[in-house]
């Protein structure tokens, strides 16, 4: 069912457009001054009215991300991969998405420490998630598009890792504008990495939630009598 491929694409588009919208509002109402250099995304989303929009974008992206993480875990499991790599992927994915929600709800202007903690969970644990997904790209099915998805995912993961450490280093050396450029690029690539799941999701046959499987089997048996 190729329609499932729209889910990661929607997350990528929604997140990207939403963050740039927050930036546009911040510039329009004077919350940030571009003459002082490129602002951090967190700075753009710290003041009203864009702070409310920023929180909703992060929360919605977090929910969509959790949905994608669960579906991808189930897809790999259904193809027979029950190893620790797939288990690690869903753990890292959940932590990263929760971190994104924390980042959006505890902003820089309110509680800086919790905001930074959420950012570390979202980005660094998120990086671990995507590196694990790179491993699964070559170990798990479906493999029809592996020849190009693997290199693209590896390139994005490598660039994101470099940008994450460069952002921290530049911030500590008090180069906020270059650090903000690294942050913007990192976030955009994160959304692109989620969007890449569309390649695997287009091979999904169905997705359903089953509860009380034993009772369901009993009902089916009774109906056949």
Mean of the per-residue pLDDT values of the chain: 89
First to last CA, the chain: 33
Q: What is the pLDDT of residues 46-77, one digit of tens each?
A: 888 888 999 999 999 999 999 999 999 999 99
Confidence of residue 2 (pLDDT cuts 50, 70, 90): confident
Q: Is the pLDDT of residue 8 over 60?
A: yes
Q: Which residue would you say has higher pLDDT here, 80 or 10? A: 10
Confidence of residue 183 (pLDDT cuts 50, 70, 90): very high
Report DSSP state, residue 55: H
Distance separating alpha carbons of residues 13 and 193, to the nearest angstrom: 12
E runs forming strands in 21-60: none
CB 85 within 8 A of CB 135: yes
Confidence of residue 146 (pLDDT cuts 50, 70, 90): confident
Q: Is the pLDDT of residue 218 over 80?
A: no
Q: What is the pLDDT of residues 22-32, one digit of tens each?
A: 999 999 888 88
Concatenated DSSP letters for 132-167?
HHHHHHHHSS--TTHHHHHHHHHHHHHHHHHHHHHH
CB 164 within 8 A of CB 186: yes
Distance separating alpha carbons of residues 198 and 6, to the nearest angstrom: 7
Q: Is the pLDDT of residue 140 over 70?
A: yes
Q: Which element (helix H / strand E) includes 99? A: helix 84-105
């Amino acid at each position: 069912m190729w329609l499932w491929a729209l889910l990661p694409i929607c997350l990528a588009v929604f997140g990207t457009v939403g963050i740039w919208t927050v930036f546009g509002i911040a510039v329009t109402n004077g919350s940030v001054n571009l003459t002082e250099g490129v602002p951090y995304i967190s700075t753009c989303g710290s003041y009203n009215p864009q702070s409310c929009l920023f929180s909703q974008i992060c929360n919605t992206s977090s929910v969509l991300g959790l949905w994608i993480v669960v579906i991808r875990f189930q897809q790999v499991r259904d193809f027979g991969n029950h190893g620790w790599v797939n288990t690690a992927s869903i753990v890292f994915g959940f932590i990263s998405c929760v971190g994104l929600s924390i980042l959006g709800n505890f902003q820089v202007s309110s509680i800086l420490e919790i905001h930074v903690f959420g950012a570390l969970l979202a980005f660094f644990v998120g990086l671990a998630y995507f590196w694990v997904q790179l491993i699964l790209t070559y170990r798990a099915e479906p493999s029809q598009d592996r020849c190009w998805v693997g290199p693209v995912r590896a390139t994005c993961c490598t660039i994101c890792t470099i940008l994450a450490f460069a952002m921290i280093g530049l911030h500590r050396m008090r180069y906020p504008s270059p650090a903000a450029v690294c942050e913007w690029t990192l976030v955009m690539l994160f959304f692109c990495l989620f969007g890449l799941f569309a390649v695997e999701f287009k091979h999904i046959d169905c997705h359903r939630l089953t509860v009380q499987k034993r009772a369901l089997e009993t009902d089916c048996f009774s109906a056949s009598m």
